Amino acid sequence: MKLSDVSIQALRLAIHSGEISAREVAETTLQAIEQHNPQLNAWTEVTGQRMLKEAESIDAKRQRGEDLPPLAGIPYAVKNLFDVAGYSTLAGASLFSQRPAARADAFAIDRLRQAGATLSGMLNMDAYAYGFTTENSHYGATRNPRDLSRVAGGSSGGSAAAVAAGLVHFSLGTDTNGSIRVPASLCGTFGLKPTFGRLSRSGSHPFVASLDHIGPFARRVDDLALVYDQLQAADSADAFQASRPAAATLPGLSRGLEGLRCGVLGGFFSEWCDEEARAAVAVVAAALNAQDEVMMPEAELARSAAFIMTAAEGGTPYLPALRQMPEQFEPNSRERLLAGAMMPAAWYLQAQRFRRHFQQQVLPLFSKFDLLIAPATPCSAITIGQQTITINGEELPAKASMGMLTQPISFLGLPVCTVPLATRSGLPIGLQLIARPFNEAAVLRAAWVLEQQGFTVAQINMAGA
Amino acid sequence: MNSPDWTHYIAHMEQILQLELDDARRAELLIQLTRIAQMAEPLMAYPLDDRLDVAGVYQA
């Protein structure tokens, strides 16, 4: 059985029927990681013993004749900013490598454990989650499985690469300004950034509390929906979680485009991308019968406001460490963090208030449209070490600009599914399917239609097992 | 309006926040702070209602 070609539900059924054991799945996964991670550099820690123990627990359940939970025996991995009991939470930073081990799993990992998934380890990221390329000075660059000379995107680069390489069925990442959507786009896999406040973040290392989201990556839309459904649960420990009951999305996927009115975001979103991205948008617009161009006023200002909030909230918590041990910091980020910690408070508060204003301007669009389409990145994956990209005739800093089209959307806190399409260059590019708050079902349904109709790029498999 | 002198601002903040910087770090800090200032300028010029609150979590 080629594990990566089998859906989560099919693999669970195979384990349930005894066709394969959860331990065999775990062992095959660990062997594939051992073989391919040296090239990929996605895992910073492999939790082999834990994975085998979790797998054996599933096999024991089966032998006792118990029902298996929805993710029984399914391999996954998490960005290394989630707490995993017994391990130091790195958040991509050597600064944290010596801190005490986490005493408990993050809330999301505990949910996945209860659902029967088996944890293979923790994944590389940009230090402190501050970046879009996962070129980490201390832990190395994560390579894009579709072209090892290129970046995987960031900051959840390891999470996208692990899934896109076919080494695990799903992974967890976080998205503050685009850190799920950018790597999903560049690695050519599916990613879901839910509504801000939808999923608990407790037990994850914060970056920008006002903007941080957690979410899954997967190779198939039904897998993405299933994992998202398992992650939905109330958690009083997360002060930013919205009070909203769980709403399963998997059962509704087959409703497809029923009742969905789709539009294409123009202006800022169609100007700041290359021809390949525009071509991908045109393909999806035709497939989803999106005939109207929709303008999102002040999107560029929203990006600036997100940038300022990120600098201030991202930098200030590090001030004591920046004072006491500056040599321990990632050189790409140190002065960026410090600049954020010393900016005038008026800038930060204006950005926070503008966010409310921007929401008030944009949300009425959803009275006419259920789904908006935009590129996730201005272009496909750049090469490792590349400093600039040329978009719209302008040379832009590559690391900061890969997230320019995702920032205004996470600033709004809207749910987004990234769907990967092929380009003429052979590299994938992702599109954002965007809906009103809490309408994750709509973005997943549209993504499922695009996948079923063959518009999305074929998934690859480094392992070949 | 003249552009603010961010070198002086950094020197003051270095004292207030009790930082010890060298010239190379001050130079990089100047680049970073100037970049944020460029982004802040149009945002600060944008008129917002004085009763407008910050955004919270969606509850609808």
Identify which of B13, B33, B58 has the shortest CB distance to residue A195. Answer: B58
Shortest distance between the Cα of A329 and any Cα of chain B, in A, equals: 12
| Residues of A marked as catalytic | 79, 155, 179
Using a CB-CB cut-off of 8 Å, the residues of chain B touching A323 are 17-20
Chain A: nearest CA to B3, how far in angstroms? 15
Q: DSSP secondary-structure letter at A459?
A: P
The string of pLDDT tens digits covering residues A380-410 is 999 999 999 999 899 999 988 999 999 999 9
CB A167 within 8 A of CB A29: yes
C-alpha dist (Å) from residue A321 to A309, A325, A334: 20, 5, 10
Q: How far apart are CA A206 and CA B30, in angstroms?
A: 26
**Mean pLDDT of all residues in A139-158:** 98
Residue type, A255: R
Comparing A322 with A332, the larger pLDDT belongs to A322
For A181, what's the count of Cα atoms within 13 Å in the CB-facing half-sphere? Answer: 32
Q: What is the DSSP letter of A281?
A: H
pLDDT of residue A74: 98
Q: What is the ipTM of this complex?
A: 0.96
Closest chain A residue to B22 measured between Cα atoms?
A326
Q: Which member of B17, B20, B43 has the closest CB to residue A301?
A: B43
Chain-centroid distance, C-alpha A149: 21
Q: What secondary structure letter does DSSP report for A382?
A: P
Among A335, A347, A355, A357, pick the best mutation site for testing chain B contact (most B Cβ within 10 A).
A335
pLDDT greater than 80 at residue A114: yes
Q: Give pLDDT, residue B4.
A: 87
Pairing type for strands A388-391 and A147-151 reads unpaired
Name the band, by pLDDT with cuts 50, 70 and 90, for residue A107.
Answer: very high
For residue B60, the model assigns a pLDDT of: 55
**Model pLDDT for residues A267-318, shown as the tens digit of each residue:** 999 999 999 999 999 999 999 999 999 999 999 999 999 999 999 999 999 9
Query: If you search the block for the tokens 């750049």, which residue do you land on?
Result: A382
Q: Which of A398, A462, A459 is nearest to A190 (CA)?
A: A459
pLDDT tens, residue by residue, A197-241: 999 999 999 999 999 999 999 999 999 999 999 999 999 999 999
CA A159 distance to own-chain centroid? 7
Quote the DSSP letter at residue A204: B
Helix, strand or coil, per DSSP, at residue A283: helix
pLDDT at B56: 85
User: Binning pLDDT at 50, 70 and 90, where does residue A1 land?
Assistant: confident
Chain A positions with Cβ closer than 8 Å to B: 195-197, 240-244, 298, 301, 304-305, 307-308, 311, 319, 322-323, 326, 334-336, 338-343, 346-347, 349-357, 359, 413, 437-438
CB count in 10 Å sphere of residue A383: 11
> What is the C-alpha separation between A293 and A53, in angstroms, rounded?
52
* B19 with A343: Cβ contact below 8 A: no
| Nearest chain B Cα distance for residue A160, angstroms | 27
Q: Which chain B residues are closer than 8 Å to A336 by Cβ?
A: 32
Give percent helix, percent strand, percent coil of chain A, each to the nearest 5.
40, 15, 40
Cβ separation of A339 and B29 shorter than 8 Å?
yes
Find chain B residues with C-beta within 8 A of A343's C-beta.
33, 36, 40
Residue A465 has pLDDT above 80, yes or no: no
- At residue A397, the 3 state secondary structure works out as strand
Task: Give residues with Cβ within 8 angstroms of A307, minimum separation 6.
Answer: A177, A407, B36, B39
Q: What is the DSSP letter of A140?
A: E
Task: Evaluate if residue A332 carries a pLDDT over 90.
Answer: no
Give the per-residue pLDDT at B2.
66
Question: Which of A241, A322, A356 has the CB atom closest to B52's CB atom?
Answer: A356
Average of per-residue pLDDT across A156-162: 98
From the centroid of its chain, how far is CA A309? 20
Q: Give me the pLDDT at residue A464, please.
A: 64
Contact A169, A163 (CB under 8 A): yes
Q: What is the pLDDT of residue B1?
A: 55
Q: Which residues does chain A have within 8 Å of residue B52's beta carbon, measured at their own beta carbons?
A: 353, 356-357
Task: Report d(CA A437, CA B28) in Å as an integer.
Answer: 39
Average pLDDT, integer, range A321-333: 92
Strand partners, A122: A45, A78
A196 → closest Cβ in B29, B33, B57: B57
In the numeric block, the tokens 């054996």 are attached to: A56
- Which of A335, A340, A413 is nearest residue B58 as measured by Cβ atoms? A413
Q: What is the DSSP string of A349-364?
A: HHHHHHHHHHHHHHGG
A400-447 residue pLDDT tens: 899 999 999 999 999 999 999 999 999 999 999 999 999 999 999 999
